[in-house]
């Protein structure tokens, strides 16, 4: 199938893109890498009247370190995240995760801003944003606003972005000393969307978690920053504490039922990920041994 007819405008600046969005409201759609928008249009799931192509806006591309903050432009492509020395040094979780996003052809075009604005609950990068305590920077007719990642995703393919707003950048606090990260997903084949996944970032002090952020994905209508993590912070993690965290996690998830997996299977996989993640972060393999339970 081919997309319904649409008008096309190539934005010449962020201000120009915002003017076009303000003039056309929810009849317009932003085009970044096109790796989610174009398939959706070709399947006639979306039929915008106007495409606002922001792909040439160099000011939205690139990765820079500003003090203790890593700033990633919205148009930074997946492949650039994968190869960036700054990401490898200051947000290695993101580098691990992006290797699981689709395939090279898609990673060469797809952008981090597009991935976050698209808000597929099975996507890797939104969950990383929760684990990394990211701030999403949006610009609209009223100026710029900053939204904590935890408040940004509001449902399946839904975010707090309004139709007249552009996601312009992502701000990440740089990883501190004693940081550890863990990323794993269960998928039918490498590059497929996950059946269940976990992006985790931690700070470890004296063998205990000083901080633990667990971003689960594909286990609900949006990425989940698991409150269950609080059961593991500041304590000697013993099997009983881990079991309590698994039970708490179970209570806060609401996984979807689809052709890939049942809700029960997704809950099971999330518990397995929690155990394996904690074992890997603390470097205590015995804690992951019950991962199949
Ligand atoms: P686009 O397709 O250009 O846009 C996506 C949506 O976001 C549109 O609604 C658009 O209007 C909006 N948008 C884009 N940029 C902005 C902005 N700056 N401000 C406001 N709104 C904006 N993704 C995964 O995470 N994991 C996978 O395993 C995976 N597998 C894939 C497999 C295939 C075969 C394909 C085709 C895609 C896959 N993707 C996967 C999606 C891919 O990662 C996309 O690159 C990403 O979801 C969207 O990025 P994009 O730049 O292409 O955005």
- The residues, ordered by sequence, that sit 6+ positions from 123 with a Cβ below 8 Å of its Cβ are 101, 115, 193, 217, 223
Confidence tier at 293 by pLDDT (50, 70, 90): very low
Determine the average pLDDT of the residues in 256-278: 95
The token duo for 86 is 């700054």
Nearest CA to ligand 1 atom 49: 114
Kindly state the percentage of the chain with pLDDT values over 70.
Answer: 99
Ligand 1 centroid from CA 32, angstroms: 8
Assign 186 a pLDDT band (cuts: 50, 70, 90). Answer: very high
Q: Whose CA is nearest to atom 25 of ligand 1?
A: 123
Distant-in-sequence, close-in-space partners of 99: CB < 8 Å, separation ≥ 6 = 82
Ligand 1 centroid from CA 179, angstroms: 29
**Cβ 170 vs Cβ 71: under 8 Å:** yes
Instruction: Determine if ligand 1 sits within 6 Å of the CB of residue 31.
Output: yes
Q: Is the pLDDT of residue 292 over 60?
A: no
Euclidean distance between CA atoms 94 and 81, whole angstroms: 7
Segments in the chain forming alpha helices (H)? 14-24, 37-42, 78-83, 85-90, 92-98, 104-107, 112-118, 124-131, 149-152, 239-252, 263-282
Mean pLDDT to the nearest integer, 213-239: 96
Q: What is the rounded distance in angstroms from the CA atom of residue 162 to the CA atom of residue 138?
A: 9
CA of 33 to the centre of ligand 1 (A): 7
Q: Please list the alpha-helical segments (H only) found in 25-84.
A: 37-42, 78-83
Atom of ligand 1 nearest to the CA of 124: 25
Task: Say yes or no to pLDDT of 58 above 80.
Answer: yes
Q: What is the pLDDT of residue 290?
A: 61
Cα distance between residue 117 and residue 165, in whole Å: 10
Strand, helix or coil for residue 19: helix
Average pLDDT in the chain = 95
Ligand 1, closest atom to CA 110?
A: 45
- Determine the distance separating the centroid of ligand 1 and the alpha carbon of 261, expressed in angstroms: 23
**pLDDT for the residue 269:** 97
Nearest Cα residue to 96 out of 225, 174, 213, 182: 182
pLDDT at 261: 94
């Amino acid at each position: 199938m081919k997309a319904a007819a649409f008008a096309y405008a190539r934005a010449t600046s962020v201000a120009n893109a915002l003017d076009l969005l303000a003039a056309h409201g929810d009849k317009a759609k932003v085009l970044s890498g096109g790796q989610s928008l174009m398939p959706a249009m070709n399947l006639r799931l979306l039929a915008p009247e106007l495409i606002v192509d922001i792909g040439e806006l160099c000011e939205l591309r690139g990765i820079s370190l500003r003090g203790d903050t890593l700033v990633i432009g919205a148009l930074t492509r997946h492949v650039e995240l994968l190869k960036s020395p700054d990401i490898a040094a200051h947000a290695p979780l993101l580098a691990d995760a992006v290797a699981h996003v689709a395939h090279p052809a898609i990673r060469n075009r797809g952008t981090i801003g597009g991935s976050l604005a698209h808000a597929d609950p099975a996507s890797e990068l939104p969950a990383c944003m929760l684990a990394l305590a990211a701030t999403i920077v949006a610009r609209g007719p009223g100026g710029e606003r900053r939204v904590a990642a935890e408040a940004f995703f509001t449902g399946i393919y839904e975010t707090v972005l309004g139709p007249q707003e552009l996601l312009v950048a992502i701000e990440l606090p740089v990883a501190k000393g004693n940081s550890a990260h863990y990323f794993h997903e269960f998928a039918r084949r490498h590059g497929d969307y996950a059946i269940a996944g976990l992006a985790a970032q931690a700070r470890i002090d004296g063998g205990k978690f000083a901080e633990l952020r667990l971003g689960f994905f594909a286990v609900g209508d949006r990425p989940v920053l698991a409150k269950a993590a609080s059961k593991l912070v500041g304590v000697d993690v013993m099997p009983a504490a881990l079991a309590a965290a698994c039970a708490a996690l179970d209570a806060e998830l609401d996984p979807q039922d689809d052709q890939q997996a049942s809700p029960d299977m997704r809950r099971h996989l999330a518990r397995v990920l929690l155990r394996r993640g904690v074992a890997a972060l603390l470097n205590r393999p015995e804690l992951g041994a019950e991962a199949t339970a």
